[in-house]
């Protein structure tokens, strides 16, 4: 897996565009992100008003988000902020917990809950939208380049591409192009 502090963009047209299998996988991943977003929205009052009580139930979603927030932000915005997105995420949540402790004597306060809810909402909304757009636009490589590709198409310029950091999507696209669409 590539480090999030190194952005290696390539010119448009360098990576393979996904076929139907790659697009369906991206669509399913987008649906999973939107399902997570739906769950976050449906449980928003519990998350906001009892954050520490609810957090164990959201532990997997939170760990996934914290592990890949660097990729989502750095690749999605095309800026090399290294590991700062994770650091800033943790610091904002710690400051919110401290503010709740100062204000109410407990970190389990709506200040932490709202900050936590907003962070999870942003993460899954950005990732879900990127996956769905990547499926619709057949964005090559990392799905986080789908929004810049859409903006490029609208404004008339080509956007740079980026390999998927975990390489699974890129390998799927390569396998699909080699196996399903070539004829002997």
Nearest to 158 by CA among 10, 20, 26: 10
Separation of alpha carbons 47 and 50, rounded Å: 6
Query: 9-18, 84-93, 132-141: lowest mean pLDDT where?
Result: 9-18
Inter-residue contact 15 to 176 (CB < 8 Å) = no
pLDDT value at residue 104: 86
Tokens of 125: 């909304």
Angstrom CA distances, 135 to 2, 74, 122, 146, 162, stand at: 23, 20, 20, 9, 16
Domain ranges of the chain: 9-179
pLDDT tens for each residue of 88-110? 999 999 999 999 899 988 888 88
Inter-residue contact 133 to 139 (CB < 8 Å) = yes
pLDDT value at residue 4: 46
Q: What is the mean pLDDT of the segment spanning 15-27?
A: 93
Which pTM value belongs to this model? 0.86
Q: What is the mean pLDDT of the segment spanning 53-75?
A: 84
Tokens of 130: 């990127």
Inter-residue contact 27 to 131 (CB < 8 Å) = yes
pLDDT tens for each residue of 35-49? 999 988 888 888 888
pLDDT value at residue 5: 47
């Amino acid at each position: 897996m590539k480090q999030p502090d190194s952005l290696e963009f390539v010119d448009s047209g360098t990576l393979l565009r996904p076929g139907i299998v790659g697009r369906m996988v991206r669509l399913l991943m987008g649906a999973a992100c939107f399902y997570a977003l739906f769950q976050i929205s449906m449980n928003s009052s519990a998350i906001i008003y009892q954050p520490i009580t609810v957090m164990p139930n959201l532990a997997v979603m939170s760990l996934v988000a914290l592990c890949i927030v660097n990729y989502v932000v750095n690749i999605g915005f095309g800026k090399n902020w290294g590991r700062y997105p994770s650091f800033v995420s943790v610091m904002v949540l710690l400051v919110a917990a401290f503010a709740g402790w100062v204000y109410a004597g407990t970190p389990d306060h709506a200040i932490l809950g709202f900050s936590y809810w907003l962070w999870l909402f942003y993460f899954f909304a950005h990732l879900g939208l990127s996956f769905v757009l990547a499926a619709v636009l057949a964005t090559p490589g990392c799905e986080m380049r789908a929004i810049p590709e859409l903006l490029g198409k609208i404004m008339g310029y080509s956007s740079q591409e980026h390999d998927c950091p975990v390489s699974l999507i890129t390998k799927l696209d390569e396998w699909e192009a080699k196996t399903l669409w070539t004829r002997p």
